[in-house]
Structure 1
């Protein structure tokens, strides 16, 4: 093949690749991509959502964000407004995540762990394939290697998110339990305070009642003392015992 034919072939191949890439960047295809089954976990990775790489600079990421936002904007998709709104929120959330340093620390942590664990996973698969005298696709195709890592990373995001939600759920239940105990403690202290307040408020009344009771009891004792024995008339004489000589 002559040099000119090689150049022409290379040019045509590049054109076909651009056409293929451009065909993906349509409103319908991007909305479907962002909302397809499993999107809840697929969309945890902001780089995956915006179809950019961690190595891309801010200008490219911003350009990609604007491009996607335009494609999935509800105003551009009047026939599927509800779906477009969901897709637009996903794109916007991904871009906001990239601007949040704390959230990106979490994203980069997952990337680092995936990059460390992925080679070990491949090595295990190589050992299994070797027993069968086979090779793994990742060792024969760079594209397959990238796709496998992308899927591995996606699973890593999902696993980490599930674990995080479990921890948050446990923390929430513990916090709820502690809050309930605190509320019960406050309610108990309040009830005791109200009881003391009522007791103090009734002190004077109780003292007065006790004094009246004591006075009445004292008068009753005096009255009983005066009326002790027979009431009215003369007392009979005491009988004397007769003495005999």
Structure 2
């Protein structure tokens, strides 16, 4: 099979034979682990940034029961998967920071309650669109194929929730901007008032400093005036 002086070609099967099954499993698992870690980074980065449930890949449907333990467990699982110490990815740190932020936001009872209310409102609006009451179960016959066509209930609620959250965020930012403008105008008014008070104080101080000069000038003027009224002296 080989010419004289040349090494025989090594087949792929021969290469594989150099490793035992355990070593092959380790290599394949390592490659699969790297792929899954990179996919998780991309998933986090593609998630809607204003929905921490979506970032943590938790069931965000209102009918789901998500406990604090579920949140902590999911955060630990996801963060270990893409931790910068375990995965060198150009945007790995960014994805890891998003996970941490999502975990913190869901740990805030007020923020989580507001988010849950938004998701409930989104589901109610979707159900209203198909003529169902807000307490209709997720498996209602009108919510199953083919009655509920693509996208399914979960996807429609997801889209509706995104619309509501974006509208709320834009409204909040507009309010913040208006508040900043109002605060800036008030700060400018106070600054102008301060400058005016300072100007008047300086004018008053200068007026007091020149008081003696004004008095002296006035007395000199009066003396000249009295002298001029006497007229010229008549010689006898």
Q: TM-score range by the shorter chain?
A: 0.5 to 0.7
Task: Pick the structure with greater CA Rg.
Answer: 1
Match of 1:217 in 2: 225
Unaligned runs of 5+ in 2: 1-31, 133-142
Q: Which structure carries more helix by proportion?
A: 1
Hey, what's the Cα distance between the residues in 1 that align with 2:225 and 2:155?
100
What is the TM-score when the length of structure 2 is the normalising length? 0.68
Tell me the alpha carbon deviations over residues 101-157 of structure 1, each in whole angstroms, 9 at most, x when there is no partner: 332343233223213322123349xxxxxxxxxx99573479922222122222221
Structure 1 counterpart SS, 2:85: helix
The within-5 A match list for 1:66-215 is 66-80=76-90, 83-123=91-131, 139-140=147-148, 144-215=152-223
Hey, what's the Cα distance between the residues in 2 that align with 1:67 and 1:182?
53
Match of 2:73 in 1: 63
Q: CA deviation at 1:100?
A: 1.9
Unaligned runs of 5+ in 1: 1-21, 125-134, 235-245
Match of 1:51 in 2: 57
**Distance of aligned partners of 1:173 and 1:139 in 2 relative to their CA distance in 1, 3 Å threshold:** farther
Match of 2:38 in 1: 28
What is the TM-score when the length of structure 1 is the normalising length? 0.66
Preserved contact between residue 118 and residue 152 of structure 1 (Cα < 8 Å): yes
Structure 2 counterpart SS, 1:139: coil
